[in-house]
Structure 1
Amino acid sequence: MALVAFLATLVSLPVLGAETRHTIMLGGNKAGLQVTNVAADGAREVSYEFTDRGRGPKISARIKVNEAGLPVAVQASGNDYLKVPVKETFTLEQGVARWKNDAESGEKKLTAPAFYVSLHSVPEEGALLANALLKADGQKLALLPEGQATLQRGDEVTLKSASGTRRVTSYEISGLGFAPETIWLDQNGAFFAAVSNWSSFILEGWESSVPELMELQGKRSSARTQESARALTRTPKGPLAIVNANLFDSQTGKSIPGSTVLIEGNRIKAVGLDGKVAIPAGAERIDARGRALLPGLADMHVHLSEHEGVQHLAAGVTMVRDMANDPDALLGFKRRFDAGEEVGPRIFMSGIMEGPGPFAGPTKVLVDNEAKAREAVDNYAKQGYQGVKIYSSVKPELVPVIARLAHEKGLHVGGHVPAYMTARQFIEAGAEEIQHINFVFLNFFFDEVQDTRTPARFTTVAQRASQLDLNSAEVRSFVQLMKDKHVVLDPTVTVFNTMMTRQPGTVGPGYAPIAGRLPPQIRRSLLSGGLPIPKGSEQQYQDSADALLRMIKLLYDSGITLVAGTDDLAGFTLHRELELYVQAGISAPETLRIATLNAAKVLERDADLGTIAPGKFADMILVDGDPARRISDIRNTDLVVKDGKVYEVDALYRSIGVLPR
């Protein structure tokens, strides 16, 4: 406590005219900068900008805090990640807090100290919150507009670099998301860093310290997740029988009421009608009470981050395909999930391959010739990856080379259609899968969008998709090519539906059913809008969102294999993805097949996964309702069995601050 009191005398002491610069890193590459200056009145003036494949925020903020470290005046303007203009203000005067931004406006008479969290925040605000919590009684503060934050001290370490030595301390802030967020302050309480495997913010000149800070955070996170895994995971002591279940057969698409499934260890021993399966004496029984029993779901397009394993499993997702990640971080997730040290799904891996340049994605795996491509493919194959993901800056002439090298190693080939290449050319060069439905449409808009690395890959589709004649010879020819080449589509249509239809200040239909259960600051983030929609174009964008669904139905009817992926909020988004397939006109049973057996077949693991059948892995979910009749019932998962271990969904959600149904 003495140290906390001492720090409280040091933190947030602004120095007039002082400037600090923090490097913003994505995937280990420098992507932008935060510059903070101290004005004459002590306010912090912050300029924050980074570029991520043509996207990225640019925000200028002015933040003034009082002696308790609480914001009393905030002004911010600029644009958000999708380049939508933003403006935000907050004031605290005579005990009354008032705030306004593009999604919210509110007023509250305060009866206790509270910290306003900007909807369009800059990294510096995390340090201000940490400082305010250090000064607060019990290191606890109410948040505005809602919520509560608490602070726990972490590690202290002396770092060394070309810039000298620096003593820094980590603090874990709970109440902002699904898990504690770590921020590093220096010996004077100033913002030093916030790091993760995906994005990092660190004092300029200290970029080389990111791995060391990540390792320290990882040790603390590992201790927490192991403790959580022990509390949340139940391993049956002997055989487990699930009886009186409405079993969904993903092979036939039929539901079989009155079914029994017998599990021994991590495998399914027997499946049959109630009374027809011999259940060993002493076996544990779970009475499904007529609820639906389905194979575990698969999300075929994720980018795993810390603490997302629980989100996936709670949503009934027992296997995921990671489509681009830091290899060390991803292999770490896989090892811990497989060992039961952390709760999470089975992981299959597709390694990103990108070309160098100003639009390069957040990865260090950059290839621009055959030798580098061979090295990358060989490394992915050696590490147990199932595929490679070609990204947007890869030179078109290198695509057939990568495809050949990958196929020689038995790796699946998919990805984004690179710049200056059509989807047709991508397939003809050897791609077996296309990620994202927008690239299918861009095949027909090559006259306008040849460089697919800019936001035009979103906006042009939003403006033109509804005008594309799906019965045209050009479209039919392309669909036939996909069929002839057995090309798989991973639509991630929820992402685009949200971009094209969500208006600021409202929670879209995809998340409305669960928004009230989410932690306050996560729920609040859902109020931000999608693409910048020109005034008067709202219906046009909605019509284009509808056109994406019509294309998905056309592809399905034409025999194209679909797999369900999200590339968005872990777990919850897959439910919406499946709802949209049904909205497109695909039946609920066929949609469930897409999310189970199709995934297993594309991963070439259908001998072990994708159906509930003897000999297969015991991966299944118990759902209150019948999603084979009403797809939205998939949101009502009660119980998850993964690798023979049992998880109560309510307990999983409570562990990450999500209210039970």
Structure 2
Amino acid sequence: MCTAAIAAAAEQVERSEVLTMGTKAGFQEARYADDGSVRVHYELNDRGRGPKYDAEYRIAADGGIESLANKGVDYFKAAVDESYKRDGKTFRWKNASEDETRTVDSPAFYLSLNGTPEEFVLLTRALLQAPDHRLAILPAGEARIEKLTELKVKGKPGAKKVALYAVHGLDLTPSFIWLDDQQRFFASYSSWSSLVRDGYADVLPTLAKTQETQEKQQSEQRAKTLTEMLVRPLLIRNVRAFDPATGNTIEDAAVLVDKGRIAAVGKASEVTAPAVADTLDGGGKFLMPGLWDMHAHFFGQADGVLDIAGGVTTVRDLANNPPVLAERIKAIESNRDIGPRIIKAGIIDGPGPFAGPTKALADNEADAQRIVDEYAASGHEQIKIYSSIKPELMPAIARMAHAKGLRVSGHVPAYMTARQFVENGADEIQHINMLMLNFLFDKVQDTRSPARFTSIGEYGAGIDLGSPAVHDFVALLKRRDIVVDPTLSTFEDMFLGRPGLPGPGFAAIQTRLPLSWQRNIRSGSGGLPIKPGQEAAYRDGYQRMIDFVGLLFRSGVRIVSGTDGSGGLQLPRELELYVSAGIPPKDVLRIATYDSAAVMKRDKEYGRIAPGYVADLILVDGDPTMNMADIRKVRTVIRGDRRYDSAKLFSAIGIAPSP
């Protein structure tokens, strides 16, 4: 049914529910009135975070949006007040970050900075109505749509004929949406979180299987096109070979790779290659082991390409949908997808309104034992405890995990201090703010909500890193050999970004990204809702987190490099922040390679350029031991028996290669 027909109908109410890992986490209600207006309410609860919008749209005859008004709060509860109006060829919009007027001669569709899911449905219909199914997007970009397949499904309200569409141009990979035969919203699916029409949740597995088949076909084609299998020995010559374990660099070096491992390394005159070997002239560039992202959530279709393109050859996944992740690993290892080596860690949380996005919820020791056993049996190497676990249950979980040979890490549970977490069996702590909260327990104990961030902004600068309390705590971490996963880059724009004033996190790569990403970065979206007058406190609180990481390093506490974000894009910034904390660049590179491998007991095979080691290598056009920003200039990636061109990988997902 076309947009005009929908507008002419009597008011129709469409309600959908958000399911995160199968648990209801929100809903959307869209009301289509007979005057051409659409009123939408949308809300999501993600561990106390999540947007809540009330929007009204008026639809034009060509399917575009004639006007909109949207009020509410964004993911971090900052106020949203956005308006837009189209008058002929004049388009005007205003939000917390933008206030623009443009004259546009050709058809165009405006996308809100903070839009409801239903707005994407409106775009889908407009694209289907547009010539060539293609439209300019305001403020920037272009989108096109294609229909992929149809299905007949049956839910409690009855049978439906639904179609899967792919919208190209808005993200690194196509955005998928399911519509019914009247072009009304039916579902949007991902393995992490989905939105589905009320009464049809049981249909999601069928939709998932069909959609994942389409995604796999795209992944397989990328792998076939962009992967070069090393079927013969490869001599990499004319390079500067850096071994992070020793900190030494061999000038005019050669490295021989055979059957996915390093067969020889040394001065070019010392390394002899078989006559059948292929040769890669490194052009004097910097060769080092592949990077490790020790805090990943590997579920986006572009994640694997992003990681390899950015030189990340190993990740540790700290929470995911286990069956889906297992399939991704199989696809990558069989060369049906592109991606890093993945080490699995399983999350466990307690039930309640702030529970993490997982089905692994434990309220007692029996539940915890079952979950730990399942993770151990499925090849997970670590348990990540989350914020809603009862403090009294945490020691039992640690004992269970250790009995199975699993490491124990996590957020510090609410109503528990970081010291207590360590003393009761933790091996590692995720996020530097969790350590700082140890000294703010008199101000905040319930850290399940965004208070675990905002309290650092409000009070973090007052933590005296030279105090006896901090000294004693750091000594405990050192004595117990506790590992810290700081994720400084995750907090940077959260603490420093403001509406209209982007944080520095993506400044170095912003212009390389798709236009929709550039807009979000420029807008400063994603920052915490900071009250007027608190800007300096939040800036100083973030600096205290950086300083704390420097103190940990100088005190001999082990650090691993993790992003909790887009590893291939974000890890370089994480490493730059370690340098700003006072850690020498060579030590930072060791943290991101050999040290991370050692934490996961893989330092005998990974993280070095040495004979017998797995040939996970990156060729860098620069010298990150002198300038850490050069780590973004990855040109070639060797992942065992596979070779990749970084520029081609980035280009395949709409990102400009590093200059």
Q: Which amino acid aligns with 1:540?
A: A
* 1:113-139 deviation digits (Å, cap 9, x = unpaired): 111111101100111111111111111
> Aligned residue for 1:393?
388
Question: What is the CA distance between 1:284 and its match in structure 2?
Answer: 1.2
For 2:307, the aligned partner's letter is H
The answer on whether the counterparts of 1:297 and 1:595 sit within 8 Å (CA) in structure 2 is yes
Partner of 2:638: 641
**Residue 409 and residue 255 in structure 1: after superposition, are their counterparts in 2 closer, same or farther (change >3 A)?**
same
Q: Count residues with an aligned counterpart.
A: 655
The one of 401, 423, 431 equivalent to 2:426 is 431
Q: Is the 2:492–2:505 Cα contact (8 Å) retained in structure 1?
A: no
Q: How far apart are residue 473 of structure 1 and its match? A: 1.1
How big is the shift at 1:12? 4.5
Contact map agreement 1:194 1:201 (CA 8 A) in 2: yes
| 1:163 CA drift (Å) | 2.3
Amino acid paired to 1:382: A
Match of 1:365 among 360, 375, 384: 360
Kindly state the Cα deviation for residue 254 of structure 1 after the two structures are TM-superposed.
2.5
In structure 1, the residue matched to 2:409 is 414
Runs of 4+ aligned structure 1 residues displaced above 6 Å come to none
1:17 to 11, 25, 37: 11
* Alpha-carbon distance in structure 1 between the residues aligned to 2:564 and 2:159: 39
Q: Does 1:101 align with 2:98?
A: no
Q: Give the C-alpha shift of residue 416 in structure 1.
A: 0.6
Is the alpha carbon distance of 1:579 and 1:76 closer, same or farther for their aligned partners in structure 2, counting shifts above 3 Å? Answer: same
Q: Share of identical aligned residues, percent?
A: 45
Deviations 1:18-53 (A, max 9, x none): 211110122221101111112452211111111111
Q: Give secondary structure in 2 for the equivalent of 1:480.
A: helix
Q: Distance in 2 between matches of 1:626 and 1:608?
A: 24
* Alignment match of 1:507 (pick from 499, 502, 508): 502
Which residue type is aligned with residue 480 of structure 1?
A
Query: 1:240-273, CA deviations, whole angstroms, 9 ceiling, x for partnerless residues?
Result: 0111111111111222221111001211111111
**Structure 2 residue aligned with 1:4:** none
The amino acid across from 2:533 in the alignment is G
- Which residue of the partner structure matches residue 625 of structure 1? 622
- State the distance in 2 between where 1:328 and 1:13 align: 42
Q: CA deviation at 1:161?
A: 2.1
- SS of the equivalent of 1:512 reads coil
Please give the alpha-carbon distance, in whole angstroms, between the structure 1 residues aligned to 2:576 and 2:257.
30
* Corresponding residue number in structure 2 for 1:486: 481
**Hey, what's the Cα distance between the residues in 1 that align with 2:415 and 2:5?**
51
Question: More deviation in 540-549 or 500-509?
Answer: 500-509
The 1:11/1:582 distance shift into structure 2, 3 A limit, reads farther
Note the alpha carbon deviations across 1:587-624, whole angstroms, 9 max, x for none.
11000111001110111111111111111111010001
Give the 3 Å change call, closer, same or farther, for CA 218–200 of structure 1 in structure 2.
same
Q: Secondary structure at the match of 1:25?
A: strand
Alignment of structure 1 residues 115-514 onto 2, 5 Å: 115-307=109-301, 308-514=303-509
Q: Is the 8 A contact 1:91 1:99 kept in 2?
A: yes
Amino acid at match of 1:110: V
Distance 1:14 1:560 in 2: 67
Q: Distance in 1 between matches of 2:647 and 2:622?
A: 16
Give, in whole Å, the separation in 2 of the partners of 1:277 and 1:34.
64
- Retained in 1: the 8 A contact 2:234–2:256? yes
- The gaps in structure 2 that reach 5 residues or longer are none
Matched residues in 1 for 2:274 and 2:333: separation? 28
Task: Look up the match of 1:549.
Answer: 546
AA matched with 1:380: Y
Check whether the contact 2:3–2:63 (CA below 8 A) recurs between aligned residues: no
Secondary structure in structure 1 of the residue aligned to 2:439: coil
- The alignment's TM-score, normalised by the length of structure 1, stands at 0.97
**Take 2:101 and 2:186, find their aligned partners in 1: how far apart are those partners?**
33
Does structure 1 conserve the Cα–Cα contact (< 8 Å) formed by 2:492 and 2:503?
no
Query: How many Å separate the matches in 2 of 1:15 and 1:273?
Result: 77
Question: C-alpha displacement at 1:537, in angstroms?
Answer: 1.4
Task: Give the structure 2 partner of residue 539 of structure 1.
Answer: 536
Q: CA deviation at 1:205?
A: 1.2
CA contact (8 A) 2:3 2:125 kept: no
Q: Distance in 2 between matches of 1:86 and 1:566?
A: 28
Deviations 1:503-537 (A, max 9, x none): 22233322111111111112212221411111111
Q: What is the CA RMSD across the aligned residues, in angstroms?
A: 1.3
Query: How far is 1:644 from its partner?
Result: 2.2
- 3-state SS in 1 of match to 2:18: strand
Letter in 1 for 2:363: D
> 1:659 corresponds to which letter in structure 2?
A
Task: State how far apart, in whole Å, the 2-side matches of 1:49 and 1:397 are.
Answer: 33
Q: Is the 8 A contact 2:9 2:34 kept in 1?
A: no
Q: CA deviation at 1:112?
A: 0.9
Partner of 2:657: 660
Instruction: Select between 449-458 and 525-534 the one with higher mean Cα deviation.
Output: 525-534
The letter of the residue matching 2:492 is N
Q: Distance in 1 between matches of 2:253 and 2:362?
A: 52
Q: Give yes or no for contact 1:318–1:345 (8 Å, CA) kept in 2.
A: yes
Contact 2:312/2:567 (<8 A) preserved: no
Asked if structure 1 preserves the Cα contact closer than 8 Å seen for 2:391 and 2:416, the reply is yes
Shift of residue 389, structure 1, vs aligned partner: 0.4
Q: Structure 2: which amino acid aligns with 1:32? A: G
User: Whole-Å Cα distance in 2 between the matches of residues 227 and 381 of structure 1?
Assistant: 33
Query: For each residue in 1:374-419, what CA deviation from the matched residue of structure 2 results, as whole angstroms up to 9, or x when unmatched?
Result: 1111111111111010011111111111111111111110001011
Change in CA separation of 1:460 and 1:125 when aligned onto 2, cut-off 3 Å: same
CA distance, structure 1, for counterparts of residue 482 and residue 231 of structure 2: 44
Deviation at 1:14, TM superposition (A): 5.9
Counterpart of 2:215, as a letter, is S
- Structure 2 match to 1:3: none
Deviation by residue 1:204-259 (Cα, 9 ceiling, x = unmatched): 11111112111111001101110110100001231101111111111112222211
Residue by residue over 1:539-562, the C-alpha shift from the partner in whole angstroms, topping out at 9 and shown as x without a partner, is: 111111111111001111111000
- TM-score norm. by structure 2 comes to 0.98
Of 22, 30, 34, the residue aligned with 2:28 is 34
Q: Please state how far the C-alpha of 1:10 moved relative to its aligned partner.
A: 8.1
SS of corresponding position for 1:129: helix
Task: Return the letter of the residue paired with 2:612.
Answer: G
> How much does 1:352 deviate?
0.4
Secondary structure at 1:299 match in 2? strand
Q: CA deviation at 1:9?
A: 7.4
Partner residue of 1:588 out of 585, 595, 619: 585
**The residue matched to 1:476 in structure 2 has which SS?**
helix
Report what 1:650 is aligned to. 647
Query: d(CA) in 2 for partners of 1:496 and 1:560?
Result: 21
Quick check: 1:11–1:188 contact (8 Å CA) kept in 2?
A: no
Partners of 1:224 and 1:10 lie apart in 2 by 35
CA contact (8 A) 2:391 2:414 kept: yes
Q: Is contact 2:76–2:526 with CA below 8 Å preserved after alignment?
A: no
Contact 2:7 2:37 in 1 (8 A): no
What amino acid does structure 1 have at the position aligned with 2:318? M
Q: Give CA deviations for 1:141-178 in whole Å, capped at 9, x if unaligned.
A: 11111111011111211112222211110100001100
Q: 3-state DSSP class of the match of 2:336?
A: coil
Q: Is the 8 A contact 1:12 1:190 kept in 2?
A: no
